[in-house]
Amino acid sequence: MASVLLGVEGLRVVEADAEPDGSLTVWVVTDHPGAAACPDCGTCSVRVHEHVLARPRDVRRGADEVSVAWLKRRWKCGNAGCARKTFTESLPAVPARCRLTGRLRGLAGAEVAERGCTVAEAARWQRVSWPVAHQEFARQADPVLERPPSPVAHLGIDEHRRGRPRWRADEDSGEYVLLADRWHTCFFDLSGDQGLLGQVEGRTADDAAYWLAQTAPAWRDHIQVVAIDMCSIYASAVRRMLPGARIVVDLFHVVQLAVKMTGDVRRRAVREKYGRRGRSGDPEYGVKGLLVRNLEHLRPAQFAKIMDTLGADWHGQEIAAAWIAKEKLRDVLNLRARVTGSTPGERDVHDRLFRFYDWCAQHDDIPELVTLARTVSRWEQEIVCAVLTGVTNARSESLNRIAKLEARKAYAFRNPANQRRRVRIACTRGTRRRQNMPARRSRLVTGRQPDPG
Ligand SMILES: [Zn+2]
């Protein structure tokens, strides 16, 4: 019974002592038919040379430590022609010369791969060295990560910074020169749940194209939509490597751009009006928080406050024009099925987009508005496609957050390959967990219900 509780195949418990400090000493002997076989010639020995005591480290019992005392036999090899004279017993669970049981190593690796501990933390708790925990983690992680990805219909591309940019002061001019600014470009599965598909160092079009070129042509042909941030670099890489895929830009970034434009106009108008930056007490300052909200989320009183404040003078009207432009752009994006609950028509999208352009043209004395309209028109095709397909880069951003969190937990990585391995295993953990769980009825999220009013 005690041997079953210990659970190491080939070890039989003969005695167990509870120590005063709460730890447990378990005395075991070998109980395995293969243990007496010579590792060189395979002959089973019958002559014992001596007894030795080994203390392989094993997993904890709860929070308490267990010390295993293994009375091993050293056998004499029965084969006269064998070069090896004597050998000690070894088991698959505790290989020869190993001071750790296999399950302790496995647990240290699994804590990193499946529980999200850092290597240092897992090593500390399991009382193994950092290299042992890392080696075991890599052994478990690599086969999982090397599997070729399943076909993906919607691909997401995003980037995150690796570490901090490094600067150096130039001796002649005194100006700062950028020494290193390291980035990772990441590829995400937006339609399935494979999470992070791969990463590549750098963030140029060539870097992104390099990763795409390494995938199988059939896999590339399967991609229908690629979601990117408003970044022309990735767009050119996608056009080069995935000519059949449609590009969509993430609509969050479009709205973000419009909100930023409203703020820019407000700051400039306030500076022109007062000759200084805005401060609490200015009427424009009082509505700055309301201007970044969605129109449909404003209470009537709040809406009236904006109109009263901005209608007072010419500077306010300029801010109001920018704010209305933001809402007209949002009107375009709000046609997507996630908001309305029905498939948008391409003509409606173009109609609303025309109204936005028209508004910007009527207020072409506001330079920020013209810039926004130019940017939107440059990305028009991708924005329309995003509204029609409803594909967003939201999942990429959420996985990017995990990637950044992983780097923070590790207090930054020195080795980019280790970073990529740790980040990818972290960004696919949810997928693996779901695969191992019994099938559950999935709940389809169709988004916000259409407003009955
Ligand atoms: Zn032998």
pLDDT digits over 39-86, tens only? 888 888 888 999 999 999 999 888 888 999 999 999 998 888 888 888
The pLDDT score that the predictor gives to residue 446 is 54
CA 94–ligand 1 middle distance (angstroms) = 20
Checking if the pLDDT of 182 tops 60, the result is: yes
Q: What value does the mean pLDDT take over residues 167-176?
A: 88
CA 98–ligand 1 middle distance (angstroms) = 20
The pLDDT score that the predictor gives to residue 162 is 82
Q: What value does the mean pLDDT take over residues 141-164?
A: 88
The string of pLDDT tens digits covering residues 320-345 is 999 999 999 999 999 988 888 888 88
Most confident of the following: 174-183, 370-379, 390-399: 370-379
The crossing angle, in degrees rounded to 10, of helices 380-389 and 251-274 is 130
CA 37–ligand 1 middle distance (angstroms) = 8
Indicate the pLDDT class of residue 442, thresholds 50, 70 and 90: low
CA 58–ligand 1 middle distance (angstroms) = 29
Q: Write the single-letter amino acid at 236.
A: S
Checking if the pLDDT of 400 tops 80, the result is: yes
Q: What value does the mean pLDDT take over residues 28-43?
A: 87
Indicate the pLDDT class of residue 435, thresholds 50, 70 and 90: confident
Checking if the pLDDT of 453 tops 70, the result is: no
Q: What value does the mean pLDDT take over residues 21-37?
A: 87
Compute the distance between CA of residue 227 and CA of residue 238 in angstroms, rounded to an integer. Answer: 10
**Percent of the chain whose predicted confidence (pLDDT) is above 90:** 44
* CA-based torsion, 354, 358, 364, 366: positive or negative: negative
The pLDDT score that the predictor gives to residue 341 is 85
The pLDDT score that the predictor gives to residue 444 is 55
Indicate the pLDDT class of residue 441, thresholds 50, 70 and 90: low
CA 86–ligand 1 middle distance (angstroms) = 8
Q: What value does the mean pLDDT take over residues 406-427?
A: 89
What average pLDDT does the structure give for the chain?
A: 88
CA 42–ligand 1 middle distance (angstroms) = 6
CA 84–ligand 1 middle distance (angstroms) = 5
**Percent of the chain whose predicted confidence (pLDDT) is above 70:** 96
CA 441–ligand 1 middle distance (angstroms) = 58
Indicate the pLDDT class of residue 421, thresholds 50, 70 and 90: very high
CA 31–ligand 1 middle distance (angstroms) = 20
The string of pLDDT tens digits covering residues 260-272 is 999 999 999 999 9
Checking if the pLDDT of 445 tops 60, the result is: no
Q: What value does the mean pLDDT take over residues 229-238?
A: 90
Q: What value does the mean pLDDT take over residues 288-312?
A: 90
CA 53–ligand 1 middle distance (angstroms) = 22
CA 71–ligand 1 middle distance (angstroms) = 21
The pLDDT score that the predictor gives to residue 416 is 86
The pLDDT score that the predictor gives to residue 375 is 94
Q: What value does the mean pLDDT take over residues 202-214?
A: 91
Checking if the pLDDT of 143 tops 60, the result is: yes
CA 93–ligand 1 middle distance (angstroms) = 21
Checking if the pLDDT of 448 tops 80, the result is: no
